[in-house]
Amino acid sequence: MDYRQYLDINPEVEEAVKSGQPVVALESTIISHGMPYPQNVETALTVEKIIRDNGAVPATIAVIKGRMKAGLTEDEIEYLGRTGSGVAKASRRDLAALLCKGTDGATTVTTTMMIAHMAGISIFATGGIGGVHRGAQTTMDISADLEELAHTPVMVVCAGAKAILDLGLTLEYLETRGVPVIGYHTDELPAFYTRKSGLPVDYRMDSPEELARLLKIQQAMPHAGGVLVTNPIPEQYSMDPAVINAAIEEALRQAEAEHIHGKESTPYLLAKVKELTGGDSLESNIRLVYNNAGLAARVAVAYSELK
């Protein structure tokens, strides 16, 4: 069965892909589950503008009324933002059921990678990836993002794994699954809200052109998987590690007390950290997404020139 019967590609995006022009995929979970309205919509539209300003075409991805969408309209972004958590959070296991039922889904890193690849898009910008949750030794709470990175040939530009996770175990898992972790202008894994985690990346690269060459070579490999590019949050928006780590620890304690687990964990913890930091974490989150979008667009331009 051909997946294309379930996929709608925005005409601008489709033309850009066909003609070899630069395109950057964007997820929609950050719109519906990552930020409050109206900041979520404002952020999504600003991210698209940043990508255009850097010479690429944005393709925000979602499931709407049972259709996989690669490239949303402003009205569709507004709809996801207003509906918020009323839109299902769609990972790999959810995709077929959402299409079958004709309902909506906000795509995670996993499903954004999947749909981007179906649409012929090789580069994707997000905030932070999911990973191995703290305490996963007993809960087995490990994000499907890591498995998707292992076998879907898309480059994901992020600010590292979300700081609420066990970053050391996340790196170990990525190593086991053969995913290269690249630091952009850094030898150290960024920790989402902060620039450093104390953990080394696999390789450092210092230009969009170098990242584009890496992606081209990676995709030429047999059974190629993805590439994870970690881009530190700009210095002026980086949070005090003591402040953010204290907020994360308190958020984790409250999540445990309220028996929050599974796919509800990440949105709960991010919202709680925002509350505990007086909104500072949300501002940092927005700024790191902007930073990642700009880098992803520049890599997409360099990649299109190689092609």
Q: Active-site positions?
A: 27, 162
Euclidean distance between CA atoms 223 and 245, whole angstroms: 38
Largest CA distance in the chain: 53
Angle in degrees, CA 181, 187, 190, rounded to 5:
70
DSSP state at residue 104: -
Task: Write the CB contacts of 304 (distance below 8 Å, at least 6 apart in sequence).
Answer: 20, 21, 22
Going by their DSSP bridges, the two strands 181-184 and 123-125 should be labelled as: unpaired
C-alpha span between 2 and 291 (Å, rounded): 36
Q: Strand 23-26 to strand 57-64: parallel, antiparallel, or no bridges (unpaired)?
A: parallel
Number of H helices, E strands in the chain: 13, 11
Query: How far is residue 55's CA from residue 49's CA, in Å, rounded to a whole number?
Result: 10
- Residue ranges of alpha helices (H) inside the chain are 11-18, 29-32, 39-53, 74-83, 92-101, 109-118, 136-139, 144-151, 167-176, 208-220, 241-257, 265-276, 280-306
